[in-house]
A and B are shown apart, each in its own frame.
Chain A
Amino acid sequence: MNRPASEVFAAHATQYIPRLRRYARALTGDASAADDLVQDTLERALVKHSLWREGTDLRAWLFTVMHNVFVNQIRSAAASRTVPMDDAIADLPHPQTTDRLEIRDLDTALQALPDEQRTVLLLVGLEQMTYDEAARVLEVPIGTVMSRLSRGRERLRRLMQGMPEAASLKVVK
């Protein structure tokens, strides 16, 4: 019995919904914006599912679709999302660890990063993609991934430690 391609696709794609939500939550800083992003991504992915080849990395493909949806949303809605910090934190499930303050700082500081740096930082640090996978998802050269990662991490560190932002950072070798 052969399943129609769209069903096979949906069955596969469904497994990644939790991961897409996790990434979207960190990316947008807001639970409902995150679920909107996931929903738009899934809809787009279903429309375009014939472009995905079974046997290739569906996770990477879905993240690519999500990235494109996200970039388009930023472009069309130039209005910045300002989420009151307490609300944003309140909708995060409580982690078991006692790092709530640090997590709150992280969630806030992340949103202060440029989108291109936050994206790379999350794909690598949260989603644990290889640099190569991140480069393919973002459709940029791997060198760009490395320099954004380096700048994003340093900026996040300074934000979280209350240090002034460095005027210019080392160029990635």
Chain B
Amino acid sequence: MSEIVVSESELQAYVDGRLSAARNIEVAQYLLQHDADAQRVTAYRRQNELLQAAYDPVLTQPVPAALQPGKPRRMPLQRYAIAAALMAVSGFAGWQLHAYVAAERAQSVYLVRVAAVAHALYSPEVRHPVEVGADQEEHLVRWLSKRLGTSLKIPHLVPQGYSLVGGRLLPGERGPGAQFMYQDMKGQRLTLYVRVSKEAGGQTAFRFAQENGVGVFYWLDGQIGYALSGESNRAELLRVADAVYRQLNP
């Protein structure tokens, strides 16, 4: 058996889980025979864990008001966005911003509920997670666009680590909705729920809600409501929600 040669950079990449699967195995074999390097790898992995343990709690602390970017006299939407972030981090659900926000609330509450329920129902499904698979993406878009009465776009989340599984049409007491499902390499699933409302809607920044253990980032864009649901942590959901938003609003 030939000696495996591992560079320092590869050891670092091994620590961070950034090697290919094949190379990962080779480095693991190498480490079995090289104690000093194995100890370093263990210590470095522990560093990563400790960094998360030490500083991740900052993510869920309320953001101080002083951190509002820009000047308060302008940009109401910006303040909404900040309020949304504050709500997201503090979990303060009963926040009401202005009278007209209250009108949006009914829509939002409904959106979150149907999205979370649909997520909980279909994301664990092994054999039939979707009605139409990603291999028929064009058909899926045409079909759901027709049924929802608006031209839908399916975001691609491969750069974020999620591939499209497919989608389905869902009934709802306030009209149909479309659910697109994505999953990552580990099989962790996210769903994007889209519905068209009959009421005129405003535009909102991202908001976060939690329903029965399912985290939901949602936003309204005119009459279309979007909700991204998943069991992943909030930061991860937000990262993907941001990518979805950007693709839908190029």
Contact = CB atoms under 8 A, between A and B. Distances in A.
A164 to B, nearest CB: 16
| Interface range, B side | 35 or more
A106 to B, nearest CB: 5
Given A25-B58, A43-B69, A55-B250, A6 B50 contact: no
Contact of B47 (A22, A23, A157): A157
Contacts of A6: 70, 75, 78
A45 B52 CA distance: 26
Chain B binding surface, main DSSP class: helix
A17 interface: yes
A15 interface: yes
A3 B63 CA distance: 24
Contacts of B15: 153
A123 to B, nearest CB: 11
A152 to B, nearest CB: 9
Contacts of B249: 8, 54
Interface stretch (A69-77, A78-86, A87-95): A87-95
Interface residues of A, number: 61
A26 B55 contact: yes
B7 A172 contact: yes
- Nearest 8 A/B pairs, CB to CB: A93-B57, A10-B78, A42-B69, A173-B7, A11-B81, A14-B81, A22-B58, A103-B54
Interface of A: 1, 3, 6-8, 10-15, 17-19, 21-23, 25-26, 35, 38-39, 42-43, 45-46, 54-55, 58-59, 92-95, 97, 99, 102-103, 106-107, 121-122, 124-126, 128, 130-131, 146, 149-150, 153-154, 156-157, 160-161, 170-173
